[in-house]
Each structure stands twice: as C-alpha cells, then as structure tokens.
C-alpha cells in the first residue's frame, strides 16, 4: 500500500514537471536572450567609447581626409571612412556624411538614367512619337502612312544648346506667323517635360549632360488635309528625349519642324 502511494506521488510529480517544462524552457530562453542583449549592449558601448577616444585624438586628420575625399568626389570612400565614426555624433562629421550620401545617391541616379537613355532611346521610338504627335496635331487626317519615313540620330553636341534653351524657357517657340511655327506649336501642344530635377540640372549645367539625352531627325510625308486626293507634304521633325520623373521612361520634346509643300 505504501509503495502504491509513493508511486502515485511520483507520477503526480512527473505530471507537474511535464506541464511546467515548457514554461521553464521559455523562462530559460528569455534569460539567455536578455543576457545576450546585455552583452551586445556592453560590447557596443565599449566599442563606441573606444571610437570616440580614437576620433577625438585623430579628429583633425580624419576630417581633413574626409573633406579631401568629398572634394575629389570619392563619395563612397568618404562614407566608408565616416561611417566608422558615425556613433560619435560629431555635428561636422554628420553633416559631411549627409553631403556625401546625397551626392553619391545623385551620381547613382544619373548613372541609371544614362543607361536608360542608351537602352531606350531608339529610332523606332522617335518614329512612333513623331507619328503620334502629327496625328494629335491633325486629328482630321486619316490613314496616314509612315512607310516612307526615315530616322537619323543627331549628334547631341550640335543641338545641346537648343535643348538647354528649351529647358530654360519651354515657352520659346519659332517665329510666330510662319506655317512651320504654327505646326511646331501644334506638335508641342501643352505637353511639359516632367524631368527629374537632377536630370534637368545636369542637362543645363554639367559637362557630361549630353549623356542624359538623345535626339533624332524624322523625315517623311504627311497628308495636308483629309479626304480623297489629299496632298502629301514633306516634313522634317527634330525630337529629343530625356529620362522622365518616374526614372523608367523617356520624356519627349519637339526641337524643330520644317515642312515642304507637296503635290496632289
């Protein structure tokens, strides 16, 4: 009988231990996690203290080196060095980190936009854009053909001054009154190029701004009026393209337009 009671007690203790074991495991894990966090915090504090002492002792040399890297536009190297001492919370260092970070981000964006222009600015796009613009300017014209159209890439250096003039004052048009001027105004319509501010600024000022744009000359014929027996007029349209604000597509603008009267 005594043995039975002992067995029952042991079974009860085993049941209690089994029920409590998950709780004990959770408590132990929480204790271990807290201990690890304290250790990391203490190690970080020790490292920060060491870096602050190191930075204080070498501050003049470190800041001179960082400013030299920024002035030479080695922003990635400047950030790599400055980030080591970020935890010191030095105001001048923080300002330099922000400057280098902004400049590096801008460089990376412009690099992506140059790649976009190199990949997406094609003669096919120029031809399609010219057709769409003429169709919008002359909605009464039906069934116009683009089969005889030709496209030619324009050396950007030759038209960059005109592009910069357009960017500086998008309202600048050809001399009012001529047929070409009226058509140019129709082609441009109310479209405004939505360019990223960095792209616009680089196109206006940077020596390598030409890498952010491209230009095409589209030549062909276009009906002068709708209906049977319509006359085909020759035209030459100069288009230029640049990365849009979305950073995924190209914006367009009509740089110049010339028309020659055709025959029926």
Tell me: do 52 and 136 sit in the same domain: no
Q: 171 or 46: whose pLDDT is higher?
A: 46
- Could you give the percent of the chain with pLDDT greater than 70? 83
Instruction: Match 């030759």 to its residue by tokens.
Output: 158
Q: pLDDT digit string (tens) for 204-228?
A: 987 777 889 999 999 999 887 544 5
Q: Which residues constitute the domain of residue 42? A: 27-109
- Predicted confidence at residue 177, as pLDDT, reads 47
In a domain, 174, yes or no: yes
- Predicted confidence at residue 171, as pLDDT, reads 45
Coil, strand, or helix at residue 47?
helix
Tell me: do 167 and 238 sit in the same domain: yes
Confidence band for 248, pLDDT divided at 50, 70 and 90: very high
d(CA 107, CA 111): 6
Count of the separate structural domains present in the chain: 2
Among 59, 87, 109, the domain boundary falls at: 109
In a domain, 54, yes or no: yes
pTM score above 0.85: no
Computed over every residue of the chain, the mean pLDDT equals 83
Among 61, 80, 109, the domain boundary falls at: 109
Residues 6+ apart with CB under 8 A from 114: 211, 212
In a domain, 22, yes or no: no
Q: pLDDT digit string (tens) for 94-151?
A: 999 999 999 999 999 999 999 999 999 999 999 999 999 998 888 888 777 888 999 9
In a domain, 17, yes or no: no
Q: Which of 80, 77, 81, 75 is nearest to 103 (CA)?
A: 75
Confidence band for 236, pLDDT divided at 50, 70 and 90: very high
Among 109, 140, 165, the domain boundary falls at: 109
Among 34-48, 74-88, 121-135, 155-169, the minimum mean pLDDT is found in 34-48
- Predicted confidence at residue 230, as pLDDT, reads 65
């Amino acid at each position: 009988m005594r043995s039975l009671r002992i067995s029952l007690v042991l079974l009860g203790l085993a049941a209690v231990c089994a029920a409590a074991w998950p709780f004990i495991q959770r408590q132990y894990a929480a204790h271990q996690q807290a201990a690890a966090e304290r250790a990391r915090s203490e190690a970080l504090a020790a490292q920060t203290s060491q870096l602050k002492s190191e930075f204080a002792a070498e501050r003049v040399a470190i800041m001179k080196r960082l400013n030299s890297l920024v002035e030479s536009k080695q922003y990635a190297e400047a950030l790599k060095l400055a980030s080591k001492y970020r935890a010191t919370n030095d105001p001048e260092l923080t300002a330099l980190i922000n400057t280098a970070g902004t400049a590096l981000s801008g460089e990376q964006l412009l690099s992506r936009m140059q790649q976009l222009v190199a990949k997406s600015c094609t003669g096919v796009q120029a031809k399609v854009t010219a057709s769409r613009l003429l169709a919008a300017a002359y909605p009464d014209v039906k069934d116009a053909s683009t089969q005889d159209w030709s496209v030619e890439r324009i050396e950007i250096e030759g038209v960059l001054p005109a592009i910069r003039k357009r960017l500086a004052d998008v309202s600048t048009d050809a001399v009012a009154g001529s047929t070409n001027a009226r058509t140019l105004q129709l082609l441009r319509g109310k479209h405004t190029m939505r360019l990223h501010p960095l792209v616009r600024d680089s196109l206006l000022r940077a020596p390598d701004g030409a890498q952010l744009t491209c230009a095409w000359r589209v030549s062909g014929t276009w009906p002068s009026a709708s209906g049977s027996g319509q006359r085909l007029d020759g035209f030459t349209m100069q288009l230029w393209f640049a990365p849009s604000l979305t950073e995924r597509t190209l914006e367009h603008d009509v740089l110049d337009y010339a028309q020659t009267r055709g025959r029926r």
